[in-house]
Amino acid sequence: MSQDPGLAVATLPTPLFDAAICRAAERAAERLVIDMGVGQDLARALLRISGRRPSRRWIERLFDGHPSVASRVDALTRVFG
């Protein structure tokens, strides 16, 4: 039984799309946190825990479900800056 190689190629970007959707959901959640008035609290918490995560290569970050801590803190503090 042979498998369609087109199907295999079509499924390759699926993890990338999934990660992008997760990052978009995280951004929406952060907008909600800002609207609730606790954006600065979340930014401080993210900075506190970010020192515990080892830095990763770009290919690993590509599949991340969360935006980088730096971009999240920037977005959270830009409103109050």
The answer to whether residue 40 is domain-embedded is yes
The answer to whether residue 7 is domain-embedded is no
The answer to whether residue 58 is domain-embedded is yes
Q: Which range of residues forms the domain containing residue 42?
A: 14-78
Using a 10 angstrom Cβ sphere, with 0-12 exposed, 13-18 middle and 19 or more buried, the burial of residue 75 is middle
Dump pLDDT digits (tens) for 16-26. 888 888 888 98
- Please count the structural domains in the chain: 1
The answer to whether residue 3 is domain-embedded is no
The answer to whether residue 4 is domain-embedded is no
Output the CA angle 14-18-20, nearest 5 degrees.
Answer: 115
The answer to whether residue 5 is domain-embedded is no
Q: What's the confidence (pLDDT) of residue 77?
A: 84
Dump pLDDT digits (tens) for 16-69. 888 888 888 988 998 999 999 999 999 999 888 877 665 667 677 777 777 788
The answer to whether residue 33 is domain-embedded is yes
